[in-house]
């Protein structure tokens, strides 16, 4: 029987942790949410509104910004990096701007980077560095969606990560690249497939996967459920669904459901990261971590 990876229930435990932490903090976390040209990003607009709703429930203040030009976007990020009350900065990608998303990720201070996408934070992930200051319990921030996948898998002890073959159908900066590093750090052997991977190679890898994570943001992209190894754990991160969940019934050991995917876990990890960023004020005062760009 295929068991559900209940992302909502797992996320609820992290949201509860955030609420308790925020309630006990003398200086409350404050998130700046930046949506560039919202009229061209309906999906990002919806995501931003969900973040705002989560924040209200958690007792977190969110300042929403909607710059309309690239000049105002860059100036806004510089200002927010310097503003002491702001403990976290979040941009909603893709920006669809002349400046590359990857370059914009490095404009946000790594100490306020709730998405964990700054090159400094990704570098800590490469080195499997967990703390900025272990003595004071100040943790490193890592990419939220990749972290959401890992925490979902770890919530099910029946899914062993160490020693498994994990296949990721995505190679993006937000999902595939950091997720591969995280799973390797936990002892998995990782194979990544993407749009340059020949279909027959992708099929061969998927058939071998103990853990399959697919996150292709293309409604036309589909994986054949018959490729899935019997007993594999399947995490479908995509919004529209890369694999037919019904066809996985009785084949996969665990899988996400179309109405209960990783999105809610990603939002929970954003707020976990925000708490971590709010705790690193001593490091911001000493400017130990550089801002690129």
Q: What is the pLDDT along the chain (293 residues), one digit of tens a residue?
A: 899 999 999 999 999 999 999 999 998 999 999 999 877 778 899 999 999 999 999 999 999 999 999 999 999 999 999 999 999 999 999 999 999 999 999 999 999 999 999 999 999 999 999 988 888 888 999 999 999 999 999 999 999 999 999 999 999 999 999 999 999 999 999 999 998 999 999 999 999 999 999 999 998 999 999 999 999 999 999 988 999 999 999 999 999 999 999 999 999 999 999 999 999 876 655 555 554 44
Domains of the chain: total:
2
Q: How far apart are CA 262 and CA 173, in angstroms?
A: 17
Q: Is 68 inside a domain boundary?
A: yes
Q: How far apart are CA 290 and CA 125, in angstroms?
A: 16
Q: Within this chain, do residues 109 and 125 fall inside the same structural domain, yes or no?
A: yes
H-helix or E-strand spanning residue 89: strand 88-91
Q: Is 88 inside a domain boundary?
A: yes
237 is in which domain, residue-wise?
145-260
Q: Within this chain, do residues 57 and 39 fall inside the same structural domain, yes or no?
A: yes
Q: Is 255 inside a domain boundary?
A: yes
Query: 106, 118 in Cβ contact below 8 A?
Result: yes
DSSP, res 136: G
Q: How far apart are CA 24 and CA 6, in angstroms?
A: 28
Q: Is 247 inside a domain boundary?
A: yes
Q: How far apart are CA 234 and CA 206, in angstroms?
A: 10
Q: Within this chain, do residues 28 and 73 fall inside the same structural domain, yes or no?
A: yes
Distances (CA, A) of 129 to 14, 67, 81, 144, 171: 22, 34, 23, 16, 22
Check: pTM over 0.85? Answer yes or no.
yes
H-helix or E-strand spanning residue 290: none
Q: Is 14 inside a domain boundary?
A: no
Q: Within this chain, do residues 42 and 134 fall inside the same structural domain, yes or no?
A: yes
Q: Within this chain, do residues 119 and 180 fall inside the same structural domain, yes or no?
A: no
Q: Is 51 inside a domain boundary?
A: yes
Q: Within this chain, do residues 31 and 112 fall inside the same structural domain, yes or no?
A: yes
CA-wise closest residue to 195 among 226, 233, 169? 169
Q: Within this chain, do residues 164 and 98 fall inside the same structural domain, yes or no?
A: no
CATH code assigned at 111: 3.40.50.10860
CATH code assigned at 162: 3.40.50.720
Q: Which residues contact 52 (CB under 8 A, 6 or more apart)?
A: 33, 62, 64
């Amino acid at each position: 029987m295929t068991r559900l990876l209940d992302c909502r229930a797992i996320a609820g435990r992290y949201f509860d942790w955030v609420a308790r932490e925020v309630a006990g903090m003398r200086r409350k976390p404050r998130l700046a949410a930046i949506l560039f040209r919202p009229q061209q990003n309906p999906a990002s607009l919806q995501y931003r509104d969900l973040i705002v709703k989560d924040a209200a429930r958690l007792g977190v203040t969110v300042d929403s910004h909607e710059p309309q030009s690239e000049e105002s976007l860059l100036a806004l990020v510089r200002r927010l990096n310097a503003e002491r009350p702001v403990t976290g900065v979040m941009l909603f990608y893709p920006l669809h701007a002349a400046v590359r998303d990857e370059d914009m990720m490095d404009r946000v201070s790594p100490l306020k980077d709730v998405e964990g996408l700054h090159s400094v934070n990704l570098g800590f992930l490469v080195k499997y560095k967990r703390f900025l200051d272990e003595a004071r319990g100040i943790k490193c921030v890592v990419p939220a969606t990749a972290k959401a996948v890992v925490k979902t898998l770890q919530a099910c002890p029946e899914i062993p990560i160490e020693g498994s073959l994990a296949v990721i159908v995505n190679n993006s900066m937000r999902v595939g690249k950091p997720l591969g590093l995280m799973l390797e750090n936990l002892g998995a052997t990782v194979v990544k497939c993407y749009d340059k991977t020949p279909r027959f190679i992708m099929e061969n890898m998927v058939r071998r996967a103990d853990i399959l994570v697919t996150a292709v943001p293309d409604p036309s992209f589909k994986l054949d459920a018959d490729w899935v190894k019997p007993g594999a754990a399947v995490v479908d991160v995509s919004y529209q669904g890369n694999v037919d969940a019904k066809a996985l019934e009785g084949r996969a050991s665990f899988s996400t459901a179309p109405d209960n995917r990783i999105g809610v876990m990603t939002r929970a990890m954003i707020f976990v990261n925000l708490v971590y960023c709010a705790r690193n004020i001593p490091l911001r005062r000493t400017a130990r971590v550089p801002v690129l760009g």
